[in-house]
Copies of this chain bind each other. A is one copy, B any other.
Amino acid sequence: MEGLLLIIASMRFEVTTLGTGAALPARGRFPSAQLLNIHERLHLVDCGEGTQERLRQAEVNFNRIGTVFISHMHGDHYLGLMGLLSSMHLNGRLNELNVYGPPELREVIDVQLRASQTYLRYPLKVHALPHASGVRVHEDAYVEVITLKLKHRIPTTGFLFRERTQPRRLRRERLMEIPHFARTAVKAGEDLPLADGTVIPNRELTLDPPPPRRYAYCSDTAFAPELVEHIREVDLLYHEATFTEELAERARETCHSTAKQAAMLARAADVGTLLLGHFSSRYKDNRVLLEEALPFFQNTLLAEEGRTFRIDQRTTVENSDVEVT
């Protein structure tokens, strides 16, 4: 059992919503920021004012964060970044940090580092995002990050986190036939040649890996049906739901979405679960937004400050045998 727990831990794919508010934060609600843990690599998505305080509350070691993604240059999505960069520096960070954001972000960072005469100890790489969908901007061993062109007042980019295909899984009942030295090759899909010259086809020894998990982050945006093709069947879709239908006109004017519109998009894209966030401070109780979404998409949840949403590994029906990694 201990081994099994370890396996689950090493396969994490989860989203912690650190802030769920819109531009004018309400009491107890913070501006946008999410922490993603994908196979124990930490990614920060948006970084509103106070994010480092939220990270501290969640007991996250800042220096474990390897990448930061900033969707756009409205203050409630990036104003916490400078403080975080500075705290990483003061905490003795030495490992590289990659920050992805709009082209303007680099100047905003540079001007402030210059003004404070701060010379970061760690390499900071600031990458300008294209304002287009479908561009792979980042990858590591476990995930690829692909851009989503959102529809907002200023250029805004959402992100699709797509788990990379994992190695094939060895069939438990054939395990004893596969020598240890050959296992990596077999997991990679190779057939197994035996000493007597015969070859065991890979399909007999392995199962397909679990399907890659996918998470899409769409904030801030007006209703944008052109996103559907990019986020089809993602496991989890975070979509802003700033307003109720009563304020649909206000949503249109400000390039935001209503909860119903978020649900309509989730339905059109046939996603697994819809997570609503970026709530206007006028709503004391966000359940009014949930109630507007549910009739259009039943599997809808409300983001909450500090709550973690885990995407579990699915095994497809054909591959429902016991899994050994």
Contact = CB atoms under 8 A, between A and B. Distances in A.
Interface string A67-83: 00000011110011011
Interface residues on A, range: 35 or more
Contacts of A56: 27
Nearest to A24: B90
Given A116-B74, A116-B154, A108 B107 contact: no
Contacts of A111: 104, 107-108, 111
Contacts of A117: 73, 153-154
Interface of A: 23-25, 27, 49-50, 52-53, 56-57, 73-76, 79-80, 82-83, 86-87, 90-91, 102, 104-105, 107-108, 111-112, 114-117, 153-154
A24 B53 CA distance: 10
Nearest to A77: B116
Contacts of A91: 24
Give the secondary structure class of A's interface. helix
Given A27-B56, A111-B111, A117-B154, A83 B79 contact: yes
A108 B104 contact: no
Contact of A50 (B50, B82, B86, B115): B50
A23 B90 contact: yes
A49 B91 CA distance: 17
A23 B108 contact: no
Contact of A23 (B24, B57, B86): B86
A87 B154 contact: no
A108 to B, nearest CB: 6
Q: What are the 9 closest A-B residue pairs judged by CB atoms, nearest first? A: A104-B115, A73-B115, A49-B83, A75-B86, A73-B116, A79-B83, A117-B154, A50-B50, A111-B111
A93 to B, nearest CB: 12
Contact of A102 (B115, B153, B154): B115
Nearest to A49: B83
B75 A116 contact: yes
Contact of A53 (B50, B102, B105, B115): B50
Nearest to A114: B104
Given A49-B52, A49-B83, 4 more contacts: A50-B50, A73-B112, A104-B114, A116-B154
Nearest to A79: B83
A117 B112 CA distance: 18
Nearest to A57: B27
Contacts of A53: 25, 49-50
